[in-house]
């Protein structure tokens, strides 16, 4: 069943950042003990219920996610398999957003419309995109495959593939992942090396 395959892909990616082999009894228990895993599972089930026309039940799970985990992702939001949310607190994603596979969302990420009636629409993204802590992505823009949006970055225009967008500046302040030595970040088992490398490159 597609729902279970998708949830399995989500759990596999979560196990990868925890650096535990998957599937194994240890990794399954470890991953299921994380609030972010349950926030994602609730979202997946809510999305499926919405597709089946069972809106009251999908809304109930959505409400539970907001209350229990402060995870504000409506059932209508489209996110590919392999979704990872290590810390769900404060994550908010627009109902019309369409995001790719194996994307990672850290705490307090905000993805939504621009608020400008002349620029309607929500963000879209490719695969293997990392949304770091408290980054904000607004408007009908596209984030390319494998790009990393740095902590507290404000992104309001398109980002090409394989780019690193820096913090509290304009979207144009970005560098190639190759220049930063991060081109294989999506293949690594944990995020510690990404953080260390990014700090060395920007400091």
Residue with the two structure tokens 């990420």: 109
Measured in Å, how far apart are the chain's first and last C-alpha atoms? Answer: 47
Helix axes 35-51, 55-69, angle to 10 degrees: 160
Give all strands (DSSP E) within 80-169, no chain letters. 92-93, 98-99, 104-105, 110-112, 124-125, 130-131, 136-138, 142-143, 148-149, 154-155, 163-165
Q: Which residues lie below 8 Å from residue 193, measured CB to CB, with a gap of 6+?
A: none
Q: Which residues pair with 155 in a beta bridge?
A: 137
pLDDT attached to residue 199: 40
pLDDT attached to residue 192: 40
Range 110-130 burial, b when 16+ CB lie within 10 A, else e = bbbbbeeeeeeebbbbbbbbb
DSSP state, residue 18: T
Instruction: Kindly give the residue spans of alpha helices, DSSP state H, lying in the chain.
Output: 2-17, 25-32, 35-51, 55-69, 177-180, 192-202
DSSP state, residue 184: T
Q: Which residues lie below 8 Å from residue 118, measured CB to CB, with a gap of 6+?
A: none
Q: Which parts of the chain register pLDDT below 50?
A: 191-203
Two tokens at 11? 């759990």
Task: Determine the Cα–Cα distance for residues 165 and 53; give it in Å rounded to an integer.
Answer: 39
pLDDT attached to residue 150: 92
Instruction: Tell the burial category of 172 from Cβ atoms under 10 Å away from its Cβ (0-12, 13-18, 19+).
Output: exposed
pLDDT attached to residue 168: 66
């Amino acid at each position: 069943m597609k729902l279970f395959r998708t949830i399995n892909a989500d759990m596999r990616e979560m196990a990868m950042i925890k650096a535990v082999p998957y599937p194994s009894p240890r990794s399954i228990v470890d991953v299921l003990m994380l609030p972010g895993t349950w926030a994602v599972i609730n979202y997946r089930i809510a999305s499926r219920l919405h597709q089946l026309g069972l809106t009251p039940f999908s809304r109930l799970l959505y409400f539970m996610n907001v209350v229990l985990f402060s995870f504000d992702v409506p059932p209508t939001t489209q996110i590919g398999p392999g979704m990872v949310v290590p810390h769900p607190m404060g994550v908010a994603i627009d109902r019309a957003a369409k995001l790719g596979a194996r994307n990672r969302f850290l705490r307090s990420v905000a993805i939504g419309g621009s608020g400008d009636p002349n620029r309607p629409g929500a963000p879209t993204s490719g695969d293997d995109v990392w949304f770091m802590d408290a980054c904000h992505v607004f408007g009908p823009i596209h984030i390319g495959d494998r790009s990393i949006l740095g902590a507290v970055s404000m992104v309001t225009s398109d980002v090409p593939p394989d780019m690193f967008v820096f913090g509290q500046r304009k979207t144009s302040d970005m560098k190639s992942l190759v220049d930063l030595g991060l081109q294989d970040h999506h293949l690594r088992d944990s995020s510690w090396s990404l953080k260390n490398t990014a700090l060395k490159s920007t400091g």
